Chain A
Amino acid sequence: MGGLDFSGINWDEMLDATIATLKMIAISGIFTIILGLPLGIVLYLWGKSNNVIIRAVYSVLSFIVNILRSVPFIILMVALIPLSKSIMGTSIGVLGTIPALVIGAAPFFARLVETALREVDRGIIEAAQGMGASTGQIVMRVLLPEARPGLLAGVTITIVTLVSYTAMSGMIGGGGLGDLAIRYGYYRYEKEVMIIAVALMVILVQLLQMAGDRLVRHFTRK
């Protein structure tokens, strides 16, 4: 590893890129949850319905979610460039990548929500039904609180996934640390910048995972 020279790194640029990455993760994370949580709840509820029509709608929805999840993010991102342009007015930079990040992560998160909700003991739901709880009350007062550790674990996994997605979005000029790493490391062979950028992302993932684990532990009552 001889010949590495970190003295030429532009630290201002590095800081800007870090902030850009954090912004992308925060904004796309919030929208992923806003979209994915209700979608996951709906998947859960429809998936166990006895109604034939609802079951059919569930199958369709589930199919769409699977497709979105099986398309590699890099391809999804390119395919969504026109959509990003029409929603955000641009397809590059922090704002330009948000739609692709959200559409890539929300179905993934929705599945994690669905799985977490399925883990909730059936007996508890029945007890609530027996007390006259409506479906809305069961969701808000039983399912979400009981599944909280699982949901938080899902949020953690999703945000960590978003970190790697933001890195990939550098390929299409998405901004942030991934963009920096690709521009310097891949196109200009300045591997020092790439190493620092990657190291920062590794640290970010570690911190996020630790914070997530801590929250999960705090809310686990079993």
Chain B
Amino acid sequence: MIELKNLTKVYGKGSKQATALSALSLSIKKGEIFGVIGHSGAGKSTLIRCINLLERPTQGEVWVDGVELTALRKHQLQVQRRKIGMIFQHFNLLSSATVYNNIAFPLRLAGTEGAEIERKVKELLFLVGLEEHWNKYPAELSGGQKQRVGIARALASDPDVLLCDEATSALDPQTTDSILRLLMDINTKFNLTIVLITHEMHVIQSICDRVAVIHGGGIVEQGEVAQVFLKPKHEVTKEFIRSETQSEGPLREAIDAVHTGYTQAVKITFLGHKTYESTLSQVVQGTGVHFAILHGTISTIKDVPYGQLIVRFEGPADAVQVTLTELTAQGLDVEVIS
């Protein structure tokens, strides 16, 4: 659906040059929710703004739905842009227009006729749950309501792609969740491809199918969210996940503590239905080893449950080894940490 080929973006000229993206390539499939995560200044905004050419890449090609946007003339680009909706961290609504007129705005730009505009706007007001607020001005709405208007406005022209530039960063956690749920709903309902950028792992974990980690203007890691989240490879990715969980200090101490007898610390990862099964207790019953849980998370990635436990096994060395082999055989992911 979206192909970014070798994008390079250099801001400024001469000595003030700054490279925001360097030869970045990315491929986003139709109907997926694709997340891009990165630290401040990593190039996230530049990347997403290159997709609808709000920012023109210095080099490289942008393809959306089989059309090379970077090759289009001004007018053709304006037409193509109607198929790409966008929502923003600071909403960017027309302050001089009511909710109704904000949502109608893209339709009026496209010259849609009156009755159709009314039908469409009413439908969207209902979709985002703002029927009662249609005649209010943005200044009279809460942040979450403003973002709903932003979403309705972005959907008005029936886009194939929705770009979200830190769409929830200005909202409190509860409102964030309701907006994320709305995004997930419209993704399934309209088979809309969603690209979102964020600096919060929580957002990625809640709704994304795939994720790319951007750092220093390049993608350092990408893949299915579960895979990247549970088995991060790059240091930046690990850092994001760690900040989402807890500090490592006390855990390290627990792992390294001296014990009498043989002990082995391992990280066990459960994914999907395995998360809620009693595999672990069944296996240790068989092998007779004991264990202590040092750290644990049980949560979901999008709608898939997962669990990640750090446990210390205690018992005869060979019995512990059998336990680990058995856990792996049962379909759990076991990683030894010393």
Q: Which residues of A are interface residues toward B (Cβ below 8 A)?
A: 121, 123-124, 126-134, 137, 141-142, 145-146, 148, 219, 221-222
- Binding site of A, secondary structure by majority: helix, strand, loop or mixed? helix
* Chain B residues in the interface with A (C-beta under 8 A): 52, 54, 75, 77-82, 84-86, 88, 90, 92-97, 105-106, 108-110, 137-139, 157
- Is there contact, CB below 8 Å, between A131 and B94? no
Residue in A127, A134, A145 whose CB lies within 8 Å of B96: A145
Q: CB distance A132 to B96 under 8 Å?
A: no
- Given A123-B88, A141-B105, residue A132 in contact with residue B93 (CB < 8 A): no
Write out the residue numbers on chain A whose beta carbons fall within 8 Å of the beta carbon of B110: 132
- Supplied contacts A124-B94, A131-B106, A146-B95, 14 more A-B pairs, CB within 8 Å: A123-B88, A126-B92, A127-B92, A128-B109, A130-B52, A131-B157, A132-B77, A132-B79, A132-B109, A145-B97, A146-B94, A219-B96, A221-B138, A221-B139
Interface SS of chain B: helix, strand, loop or mixed? mixed
CB-nearest residue of chain B relative to A149? B96
Q: Work out how many contacts link A and B, with CB atoms closer than 8 A.
A: 65
Nearest chain A CB to B133's CB is how many angstroms away? 15
Given contacts A133-B78, A134-B78, contact A221 B137 (CB under 8 A): yes
In the complex, are the beta carbons of A127 and B88 less than 8 A apart?
yes
When distances are taken between beta carbons in the complex, the residues of chain B under 8 Å from A132 are 77-82, 106, 109-110
Which B residues lie within 8 Å of A128 (CB)? 105, 109
B139 to A129, Cβ gap below 8 A?
A: no
- Which are the 6 A-B pairs with shortest beta-carbon distances? A132-B81, A123-B92, A127-B92, A132-B78, A145-B96, A132-B82
Residues on the B chain within 8 Å of A131, using CB:
81-82, 85-86, 105-106, 109, 157
Contact B105–A146 (Cβ < 8 Å): no
Known: A129-B54, A131-B82, A222-B139. A124 touches B93 (CB 8 A): yes
Contact of A133 among B52, B88, B109 (CB under 8 A): B109
